[in-house]
Amino acid sequence: MTSPAQIEFHQFEPDKIAAIEGKISILVDGDGAMDAMARKINTLTKGAVKRLAAGADFVKSSEGSGHVLAFPAGLSASAVQVIKISRRPNIQTARKAGAAMAKFQGASKLTVLAAGNPKAAEISFGLSLRGYSFKQHKTSENELAGSVNFIVNKPEVVAQAATPLTAVAEGIFFTRDLVNEPANILTTTDFAARLVAMKKLDLEVTVLNEAELEGLGMRALLGVGIGSETPTKVVVMEWKGGGDEAPFALVGKGVVFDTGGISLKPGAGMEDMTMDMGGAGVVSGVMRTLALRGAKANVVGVVGLVENMPDGRAQRPGDVVTSMKGDTIEVINTDAEGRLVLADILWYTQERFNPCGMINLATLTGAIIIGLGHENAGVFSNDDNLCAAFLKSAEAEGEGAWRMPLGKAYDDLIKSRIADMQNVGGRAAGSITAAQFLQRFVKEDTPWIHLDIAGVALLKTNSVLAPKGATGWGVMALNRLIADEYER
Q: Annotated active-site positions, please?
A: 265, 339
Instruction: Compute the distance between CA of residue 324 and CA of residue 345 in angstroms, rounded to an integer.
Output: 8
Closest C-alpha among 482, 478, 466 to residue 129: 466
Q: What share of the chain is helix, strand, coil (3-state, %, to 5)?
A: 40, 20, 40
Residue 335 contacts residue 365 (beta carbons within 8 Å): no
CA atoms within 13 A on the CB side of 10: 15
Residues sharing a CB contact under 8 Å with residue 292, sequence separation 6 or more, in sequence order: 166, 167, 170, 171, 201
Strand 377-381 to strand 448-452: parallel, antiparallel, or no bridges (unpaired)?
A: antiparallel
Q: What are phi and psi of 269, to 5 degrees?
A: 90, -5
Residue 335 contacts residue 261 (beta carbons within 8 Å): yes
DSSP state of 232: P
Closest C-alpha among 275, 215, 217 to residue 454: 275
Q: Return the SS3 of 326.
A: coil
Closest C-alpha among 18, 22, 113, 12 to residue 73: 18
Q: Give the CA dihedral 218, 219, 224, 225, nearest 10 degrees.
A: 80
Q: Return the SS3 of 49.
A: helix
Neighbours of 96 (CB within 10 A): 26
DSSP state of 119: T
What angle do the packed helices 475-485 and 155-180 form, to 10 degrees? 130
Strand 458-459 to strand 469-470: parallel, antiparallel, or no bridges (unpaired)?
A: antiparallel
Q: What are phi and psi of 339, to 5 degrees?
A: -70, -25
Q: How far apart are the first and last CA of the chain?
A: 31
